[in-house]
């Protein structure tokens, strides 16, 4: 197969999403301004108290790398309009208020630690009346669209190589995601996204763009759910660690536990896609302990089981197991076991290749197995207790040879 500009992305599998902005000070999530109808002037005041004294891009990127992520995506500007970068087209920036271009610090750190660079950018900006009613305020709408073109050009010319542009906030007025079949077309027309994408690919031809400009872009990015895209496009699912309504810092400890996080990631990988796990730094830019703990646990698990994650494709067609999920790579199938089987015997069905060897990925230890009709594979003499109760990976090495056709009765039942 010809190399493709998206290869690195499909192989990377895991991204760390970072939502950081003025809203971290409110500690109720980045939508507080809108949902509580906070006047823009009140939000603008937050720029004066913005103090990212512990926003340490190198530390952030290093932590992401240690946790096993291969790329990071940082909010360069969210819906409130505050830029974490220096812009000629806005005074509402971290540069103007604290003299720091946080995006530059971040991009430089990614380059230094050999992490691919994702940049999130919100098309909409709640400071513009034209977002709320573009017919009544056409000039404001035009200014907002111009801001997008100007700032995206800045992002792609002032920071060196950017690998991934993650747009958001394309909706406007009552044109909301999922509200109508022509949503994509309307959004694309509103933001002049055809031209926008053309400009982006001209500035950085290798770049990948997500699907939220109204144009298809390269990658589909559903939020808070796992799954494949029905039209076969590549999917990167994104998810919060806390509740589903907040990507920025929220002041509570209602977090998913590590088991839930890991199993959700694996389910997404079994569909063949990527996973983008969000953290929301606190107002001073530091990552709180409970987020750090999950990142560290993920890193530990991936150091032992990364082979079953990076560069994998989804589960082989037809395979099924009640105790776990699958990924695959070449002739290897990885069985991610969430419920360790009873009496040391693990059974799956629907494996269509002859098996050569079965091992525990963590230890390399080999186990006896038997293959039967219906693509049944029975692995025997496994440890009685789960080597890793969160998820133990059984590696199944197959040959190119197919298993025999199924008998035409379902005699096993």
Residues that bind ligand GLC (CB under 6 A): 19, 30-31, 168, 223, 238, 247
Check if the beta carbon of residue 283 is closer than 8 Å to that of residue 32.
Answer: no
Looking at the Cβ atoms of 154 and 168, the one nearer to ligand GLC is 168
CB of 222 to ligand GLC, least distance (A): 9
Q: Measured between alpha carbons, how far is 314 from 308 in angstroms, rounded to an integer? A: 11
Cβ closer to ligand GLC: 69 or 334?
69
| Least distance from ligand GLC to the Cβ atom of residue 273, Å | 15
Torsion angle of alpha carbons 64, 68, 73, 78, nearest 10°? -60
CA proximity to 379, closest of 400, 351, 404: 351
Least separation in angstroms between CB 300 and ligand GLC: 27
Residue nearest to ligand GLC (CB): 223
SS (H, E, C) 74-123: EEEECCCCCECCCCCCCCCEHHHHHCCCHHHHHHHHHHHCCCEEEEEEEC
CB of 20 to ligand GLC, least distance (A): 11
Q: What minimum distance in Å lies between the beta carbon of 276 and ligand GLC? A: 8
Residue 207 tokens, joined? 């770049």
- Which residue lies nearer to ligand GLC by CB, 74 or 282? 74
CB of 235 to ligand GLC, least distance (A): 13
d(CA 218, CA 6): 8
Compare residues 128 and 247 and give the one whose CB is closer to ligand GLC: 247
How far is Cα of residue 270 from the mean position of the Cα atoms in its chain? 15
The distance of closest approach from Cβ of residue 119 to ligand GLC in the complex, given in angstroms and rounded to an integer, is 13
| DSSP characters over 255-301 | ---HHHHHHHHHHHHHTT-EEEEEE---TTSPPPHHHHHHHHHHHHH
CB nearer to ligand GLC: pick between 92 and 247: 247
Min CB(332)–ligand GLC separation in Å: 32
Nearest residue to 281 (alpha-carbon basis) of 6, 23, 81, 9: 23
Distances (CA, A) of 270 to 116, 334, 379: 23, 10, 21
| Cβ atoms within 10 Å of 35's Cβ, excluding its own | 10
Residue closer to ligand GLC, measured from CB, 159 or 247: 247
Whether the Cβ atoms of residue 187 and residue 175 lie closer than 8 Å to each other: yes
Closer to ligand GLC by Cβ: residue 31 or 85: 31
Q: Which is nearer to ligand GLC, 19 or 77 (CB)?
A: 19
Nearest-angstrom CA–CA distance, 155 and 85: 8
């Amino acid at each position: 197969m010809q190399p493709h500009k998206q290869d690195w992305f499909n192989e990377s599998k895991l991204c760390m999403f970072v939502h950081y902005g003025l809203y971290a000070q409110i500690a109720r999530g980045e939508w507080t301004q809108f949902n509580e109808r906070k006047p823009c002037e009140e939000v603008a005041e937050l720029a004066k108290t913005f103090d990212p004294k512990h926003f340490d891009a190198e530390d952030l990127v290093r932590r992401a790398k240690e946790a096993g992520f291969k790329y990071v995506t940082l909010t360069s500007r969210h819906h409130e309009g505050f830029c974490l970068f220096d812009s000629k087209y806005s005074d509402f920036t971290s540069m103007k208020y604290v003299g720091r271009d946080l995006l530059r610090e971040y991009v430089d750190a990614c380059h230094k630690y050999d992490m691919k660079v994702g940049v999130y950018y919100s098309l909409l900006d709640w400071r513009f009346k034209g977002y709320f009613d573009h017919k009544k305020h056409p000039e404001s709408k035009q200014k907002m669209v111009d801001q997008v073109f100007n700032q995206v050009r800045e992002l792609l010319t002032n920071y060196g190589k950017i690998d991934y542009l993650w747009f958001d906030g394309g909706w406007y007025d009552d044109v909301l995601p999922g509200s109508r079949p022509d949503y994509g077309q309307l959004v694309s027309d509103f933001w002049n996204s055809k031209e926008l994408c053309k400009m982006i690919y001209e500035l950085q031809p290798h770049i990948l763009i997500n699907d939220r400009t109204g144009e298809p872009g390269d990658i589909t990015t559903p939020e808070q759910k796992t799954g494949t895209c029905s039209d076969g496009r590549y999917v990167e699912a994104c998810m919060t660690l806390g509740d589903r309504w907040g990507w920025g810092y929220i002041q509570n400890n209602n977090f998913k536990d590590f088991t839930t996080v890991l199993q959700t990631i694996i389910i997404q990988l079994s569909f063949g896609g990527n996973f983008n796990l969000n953290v929301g730094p606190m107002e001073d830019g530091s990552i709180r302990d409970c987020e750090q703990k999950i990142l560290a646990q993920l890193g530990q698990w991936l150091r032992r089981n990364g082979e079953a994650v990076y560069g994998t494709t989804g589960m082989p067609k037809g395979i099924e197991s009640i105790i776990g999920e699958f990924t695959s790579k070449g002739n290897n199938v990885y069985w991610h076991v969430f419920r360790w089987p009873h009496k040391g015997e693990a059974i799956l069905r629907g494996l269509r290749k002859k098996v050569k060897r079965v091992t525990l990925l963590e230890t390399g230890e080999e186990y006896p197995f038997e293959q039967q009709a219906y693509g049944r594979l029975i692995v025997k003499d496994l440890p009685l207790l789960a080597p890793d109760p969160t998820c133990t990976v059984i590696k199944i090495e197959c040959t190119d040879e197919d298993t025999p056709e199924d008998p035409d009765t379902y005699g096993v039942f």
